[in-house]
Structure 1
Amino acid sequence: MEMIPSFDGTLLALHRLGAGRPVILLHGLFSSAQMNWMNWGQAQLLADAGFECLMPDLRAHGDSGKPHDPAAYPPDVLARDALALVKALGLTDFDLVGFSLGARTSVRAVINGLRPRRLALGGMGLEGLAGWTGRSAFFTDAIDRFDEVKHGDPAFAAVSFMKTMKVDRVAARLLLQTFSDTPPEALAALTMPTLVVNGDKDRDNGSPDRLAEALPNATLVTVPGTHMSCVTKPELGEAIRDFLLG
C-alpha cells in the first residue's frame, strides 16, 4: 500500500495487484478496496488476465484520510480525488471500474473530464444517479440513528455493515453531503464503451436496464446475487474481465 496526496493534500491509500494494463477499481459506500475487490478474488481474477489493479480507498474509507473538517468535503470531492489520482500516477491509457458508490464516482469523474478507454459500472441503475440525494438522505439517517437501529429497521443492513467496517461516521456523514444528482442527459459525456453489470436481485440503485439505455455505448450484463452478495461471486469479476478484454 502507498499513500497518494489528493488535490487538497488528503492522503489516499492505494493498493496494487498485478502487472500490465492499468485498471482503476473504485469500491462501494462504507466498503474498502480490500473488502470490495481483494477479499473475494475479483482483483486477482483481473490480475491473472494481465491487468494492474489500482485500488484506492475512497476518502473517508479504509486506510485513506478521514478529515473531520467540512472544508475537506467540497462538491464532487470523490470525482476530484479520482482525477488527482490519475494525474499523480501519470496515467494516460487506463480502464475504470466502479461498484455502487464507486460507479457513481466513476460517472462523475468522466463528466468532470476523466477519459478511460473502457468504463464498467457495477451495482448501479439510472435512479441511483439521477436520484442520489434520496439515497444519500437514507444513509445520513442511518448514521444519525446509528445506536438505535434494531433488526427489522430498513437501515439495519447499512448500520451492520458500518459496524463491520468500523466506519468513521463523522467523516462519512460529511462525505454524503458532497453528492449531487446526475441527470440522464449528462450521461451523454460517457461516450466510451461502458459495461453496466448488476446482480439479478439487485435494484438498490434503480434499474440497470434504464441506465444502459441512457448511455451512448453500453453493454448490459446480469450476474447472480443481491447488491451485497454479487461482489462475493466470481461472475462479477468475470464479466468485468471479459468486457475489458473485449
Structure 2
Amino acid sequence: MPSFHNGAVEIAYLDEGEGDPIVLVHGFASSKNVNWVYPTWVSELRKDGHRVIALDNRGHGDSAKLYDPAQYAIAEMAADVLALMDHLEIPRADVMGYSLGGRIAGHIALTSPQRMRSAIFGGIGMAMIEGGGPGENVALALEAPSLDDVTDPVGRTFRAFADQTRSDRLALAACMRGSRGLMSREDAGRITVPVLIAVGTTDEVAGSASALGALIPGAEVLEIPNRDHMRAVGDKVYKAGVIDFLSRRA
C-alpha cells in the first residue's frame, strides 16, 4: 500500500479507479480494508465511475501508531485527510466518513468547505453533537491485560474486535481519549455543503439521524432498516442511497 507523511506521521492509503474523487474515512478501531474494501464499497464506487481514496487513520491499520491522546484530536485527524488530498493533488472531493470518520468529515465540512463537493456522515447522528457511545470504558478495556479481565459489555465488544484485527490497543486507547471532541449545534447549522446522514434504525451508538439532519441546512437523511452500528456498514440500502445521493449533488 502507498503511504505519505503529514509532518512526522506516516499515513497509509489506497487510490483506485477514475472519475470524480471520493475520500473514505473509516471508524474507530477499524481500517480502510475492514470499513471499505471488504464490504465492497471500493469496488462498487469504482463501478459507479468514482476515483476512490481511502486512508488508514493515524493509530489504525498500516498508519503510524501514536500514544498521546492530544495527537488524536478531530482537527489533527481531519488534517491528515486534507494532507492526503494535497498529496494526491485533489482540490475538491466528496468525503464519506463512518462513525469517528463521520466526525472527521463533519470537521472538514465546517472548516474547509471549499475542499468538499459533499459530505456523507455514516453511522453518526446526534452523537456528533451530544456525545454518548463508547468512551473511557472502551479505553480501559483496550488497556486490560486480556479480554477475560474486561467485564463491561461495550468494552468487551471493542476489545474483542481489536484483538481480532491485531490492532495496536494502546494506540486505540489514546485515540478514544483524544477524539471525543463534539460539534456545537450552532456549528452544525453553519455547514453549507450538501450532506447525507445515513444511520441504521437499530443503531444505539450514532444518535438520531433526523435530529442531526434538522440542524444542518438542506441535509438528507437515509435510514438503514434493521441495522445496528456494526452491521450497517456494508448494507445494500446504504450503498444504494449513497450512490443516488452522489448522482444528484451539484
TM-score, length basis structure 2: 0.89
TM-superposition CA deviations, 1:209-246 (whole Å, max 9, x none): 11111111200111231110111322222211111111
SS of the residue corresponding to residue 117 of structure 1 reads strand
Return the alpha-carbon distance in structure 2 between the equivalents of residues 169 and 205 of structure 1.
23
Aligned to 1:105: 104
Q: Which moved more, 1:72-81 or 1:180-189?
A: 72-81
SS of the residue corresponding to residue 170 of structure 1 reads helix
The offset of 1:111, in angstroms, is 2.5
Counterpart residue identity of residue 233, structure 1: D
Contact 2:222/2:238 (<8 A) preserved: no
The offset of 1:146, in angstroms, is 5.9
Aligned to 2:158: 158
Counterpart residue identity of residue 207, structure 1: S
TM-superposition CA deviations, 1:72-96 (whole Å, max 9, x none): 4456321121222222222123101
Give every structure 1 segment of 4 or more consecutive aligned residues whose post-TM-superposition deviation is greater than 3 Å.
68-75, 131-136
Give percent identity, aligned residues only: 28
Structure 2 CA distance for partners of 1:71 and 1:122, relative to 1, 3 Å: closer
Aligned to 2:178: 178
Return the alpha-carbon distance in structure 1 between the equivalents of residues 165 and 63 of structure 2.
13
Counterpart residue identity of residue 230, structure 1: A
Aligned to 1:243: 245
Q: How many residues align?
A: 243
Aligned to 1:50: 49
User: How is 1:124-203 mapped onto 2 (pairs within 5 angstroms)?
Assistant: 124-126=124-126, 128-132=127-131, 135-145=134-144, 147=146, 148-150=149-151, 153-179=153-179, 180-203=181-204
Structure 2 CA distance for partners of 1:136 and 1:19, relative to 1, 3 Å: same
Q: Does 1:208 align with 2:209?
A: yes
Q: Which moved more, 1:79-88 or 1:63-72?
A: 63-72
Structure 2 CA distance for partners of 1:191 and 1:29, relative to 1, 3 Å: same
The offset of 1:20, in angstroms, is 0.9
In structure 2, list runs of 5 or more residues that go unmatched.
Answer: none
Aligned to 1:78: 77
Contact 1:60/1:172 (<8 A) preserved: yes
SS of the residue corresponding to residue 232 of structure 1 reads coil
Counterpart residue identity of residue 60, structure 2: H
Contact 2:109/2:119 (<8 A) preserved: no
Contact 1:110/1:189 (<8 A) preserved: no
SS of the residue corresponding to residue 211 of structure 1 reads helix
The offset of 1:124, in angstroms, is 0.5
Structure 2 CA distance for partners of 1:134 and 1:243, relative to 1, 3 Å: closer
